[in-house]
Structure 1
Amino acid sequence: MNVDRFDLNLLIYLDILLRERSVTKAAQSLGITQPAMSNGLKRLRELFDDPILVRTSDGMSATERAQALQPMVRNILAEVDAAVQPTGEFQSLTSGRVFRIMVSDYAEATLVPAIVKRLRTEAPGVILDFLTPSDVTYKDVEQGKVDMAINRFDELPQSFHQKTLWRDGFACLVNPANPLLEGFNLEKYLVANHIWVSKTGMGVGTGVNPSKDKAVQLGWVDEALAETGHKRNISVFTRHYQMPALLAMNNDLVATLPTKVAKMQAQSGALKMVDAPFHIPAFELKMAWSPLLHHNPPHQWMRALITEESEKLARV
């Protein structure tokens, strides 16, 4: 193949086709006609001597060769995007840019207040649009529709850039009047009734069935407890980290939370924070973003700000 005569648009077509797995949707995404996209797929098949997309029972699926090409194509397009980005520094004081950031409820409770406070003086015109994990797909992040995702991720697409913001463990919040508090240990933990807070991932969540769901489906706390051969009595299920501080005011309920959240919610003195009476592995809060935005000056500025605030909170 003569590289000098290679049409860069074909890589854009390939990138969109592999994300959409549909000629029609790819055409709509690029704003071209379906015949034009079909012709692009035909040229790609000739160029790589590979079908690229094949029809299966699950719809159109990428071939093994196409799957191998996808991260390479994404990196090439990201480098091209970087080359055409304006080189001037981001003027934060006068900018009115909108940053769309997906945050878990945990990140919202711990990191977001620090970000907002910092922006009030350094970038008062910047607008923050915080989205929940159920509002966003990996495709939204990959395409740059969402600036970044801040969450605890089990896995991320290979094309994403990522940074660990901090590691956190777990602690318990208990009403000081709770009779189980004195000499709090595993035996008393198992006698108590508990408040469960979800491990938030990407995509729309579903309800919990305590009688059927396994410990691994209930999250890190219950999976770690299952390693000791035990199961806790869960009375309340919630998806919001602001709720346990209110619910734990009941003197027969215990909330097991990430330590940073527990510390914040115990500051008023109405609740007491104690160590979890069994080992729960720590987790990492990560920031992930698309390679399409990696070299974007406003994006670089925001990532640096979030990193700096995270480093402060990591020491708390």
Structure 2
Amino acid sequence: MRFNKLDLNLLVALNALLTERNISRAAEKLYLSQPATSGALSRLRAYFNDELLVPSGRQLMLTQRAKELVDPVREVLMRIDTTIAAQPQFDPATESRVFTLLVSDYTSTVLIPTLLAELYREAPNLRIRLRNQAERPDEVLEQGEADFLVIPSQYLAKDHPSAALFEEDYLCVTWEGNSRVKERLTFDDYLACGHVIATFEHTNPLSTFDGWFMESFDVKRRVEVTAPTLSALPSMVIGTDRIATVHRRIALRAQATLPIKVWEPPPRIPRLVQMLQWHKHRSNDPAIRWIRDKIVTAAAGV
């Protein structure tokens, strides 16, 4: 199909190329061969009379015209997907669509098991894909690669609707045999202990809000262990004089089974407000509305 002499199928290829800025990755996303994707780029260049992507070292860079096309092309495809491709009816008992949630390690631990059980009772054929939070979750949402974000309030994308899920604060965790911290945890103790913290592949701050807060107040912790998970941090202080600062729900769950003690953090950390967010063009999708309500209900029981 053509509109104003443009093959509309090329818009999908253009979106992938503008997003990936790499012909091989765009080809994988489009389920096309590299030669076919290169051919699509050639036709797009001819139509727009612009190179669109130009080599710069080992990367492809967007021209100014290409930068101007990023948001409009994404917007057009999202509108098509949500107004034409979306099903007007939704039956939980028979629905088998795949829904993608962008979640942190923390969310996977405290919310997702309850949610999955709730969904299974009413929509057993529904398929859920959990993805780790990326460095720019707002871009993943914009590109339509996730149906929902579960994310702290300060990282919400400003142009999309959201709903509050629950609040959370933090506790410090030490081994019960810690030789430094025995009766109380002082601020000096907190700074003197070696710290166990979570770090992630994309240096993602979303799951380490305590670290963001500490650095913002110029409090330097001596980090001795880094791990790619939040939920395992309490077990990593056992047998040492180290300390971990984790979400209260994670700390209390760990305390029930591990030889650890929990303490209120000497530097008071603001409460975290966990939010649910979805794309503005999908607000009228009955499936999105139904799952949104189920997530909010599951969060109320957390």
The one-letter code sitting in structure 2 at the alignment partner of 1:188 is D
Correspondence 1:156-175 to 2 at 5 A: 165-175=165-175
Distance 2:68 2:301 in 1: 39
What secondary structure, in the 3-state scheme, does the structure 1 residue paired with 2:60 have? strand
The aligned residue for residue 247 of structure 1 is 236
What secondary structure, in the 3-state scheme, does the structure 2 residue paired with 1:188 have? helix
Gaps of 5+ in 2: none
Distance 2:60 2:290 in 1: 39
The one-letter code sitting in structure 2 at the alignment partner of 1:186 is F
CA, structure 1 residues 35+229, in 2 after alignment: closer, same or farther (shift >3 Å)? closer
Give the drift of 1:72.
2.4
Give the drift of 1:89.
2.9
Gaps of 5+ in 1: 206-215
What secondary structure, in the 3-state scheme, does the structure 2 residue paired with 1:182 have? coil
CA, structure 1 residues 33+277, in 2 after alignment: closer, same or farther (shift >3 Å)? closer
What secondary structure, in the 3-state scheme, does the structure 2 residue paired with 1:19 have? helix
Do the aligned partners of 1:170 and 1:257 also contact (CA within 8 Å) in 2?
A: yes
Give the drift of 1:284.
5.0
Q: Deviations over 1:206-229 (max 9, x none)?
A: xxxxxxxxxx9x955455445666
What secondary structure, in the 3-state scheme, does the structure 2 residue paired with 1:256 have? strand
2:45 to 38, 41, 44: 41
Distance 2:39 2:64 in 1: 25
Q: Deviations over 1:236-285 (max 9, x none)?
A: 32222332332344473322112232233335585443211013355454
Give the drift of 1:105.
1.1
Q: Does 1:298 align with 2:287?
A: yes
Distance 1:11 1:67 in 2: 15
Correspondence 1:278-297 to 2 at 5 A: 278-283=267-272, 285-287=274-276, 296-297=285-286
Q: What TM-score, normalized by structure 1, do the two folds share?
A: 0.71
Pairs aligned (count): 293
The one-letter code sitting in structure 1 at the alignment partner of 2:185 is F
Q: What TM-score, normalized by structure 2, do the two folds share?
A: 0.73
RMSD: 4.2
The aligned residue for residue 190 of structure 2 is 189
Do the aligned partners of 1:222 and 1:231 also contact (CA within 8 Å) in 2?
A: no
Percent identity of equivalent pairs: 23
Distance 2:183 2:130 in 1: 41
The aligned residue for residue 276 of structure 1 is 265
